[in-house]
Amino acid sequence: MELGLDILLQKIWKALDMVRIYTKRRGQRPDFGDPIILTKGRDGVDIKACIMQIHKSLLEDFASCSVWGKSAKFSPMKCGLAHILVDEDVIMINKKLTKAGNL
């Protein structure tokens, strides 16, 4: 009958203290189908932890991150690696520009 399953799921999610972070590519809509799920630490989940979950090589080319959601004062907000994310935030990673001769 599935009575109260949605409430149970919400309580489990809250008890595990997890957050869903969605990603977005430039010029496209956010991908709400496949979030990055992270467990909050004492200080919360920062952008660096989220990027490390995707791939650590992204840190080498990291310039900034655009954030949409509850943790942003305005949307989109340009942030650094130390910005603390909250559940259901959307991020777009901006990479450093390379010189044309270094491609």
Q: Could you tell me the CATH number of the domain that includes residue 50?
A: 3.10.20.30
**What CA–CA distance (Å, rounded) separates 84 from 71?**
7
pLDDT at 45 over 60: yes
Average pLDDT on 37-51 reads 87
**Rounded to an integer, what distance in angstroms lies between the CA atom of residue 26 and that of residue 45?**
23
Q: What is the pLDDT of residue 102?
A: 53
Query: In this predicted model, what pLDDT tens digit does every residue of 27-38 receive, in sequence order?
Result: 999 989 989 999
Strands 62-68 and 89-95: antiparallel
Domain count, the chain: 1
Interior angle at CA 53, CA 11 and CA 89, nearest 5: 55
Pairing mode, strands 89-95 and 18-23 = parallel
pLDDT interval class at 14 (50, 70, 90): confident
H or E segment and range at residue 8:
helix 5-16
Residue 51: give the domain boundaries. Answer: 5-102
Greater confidence (14 vs 102) lies with 14
In the chain, the percentage of residues whose pLDDT exceeds 70 is 93
- How many other β-carbons are positioned within 10 Å of the β-carbon of residue 9? 10
At 47, is the pLDDT very low, low, confident or very high (cuts 50, 70, 90)?
Answer: very high
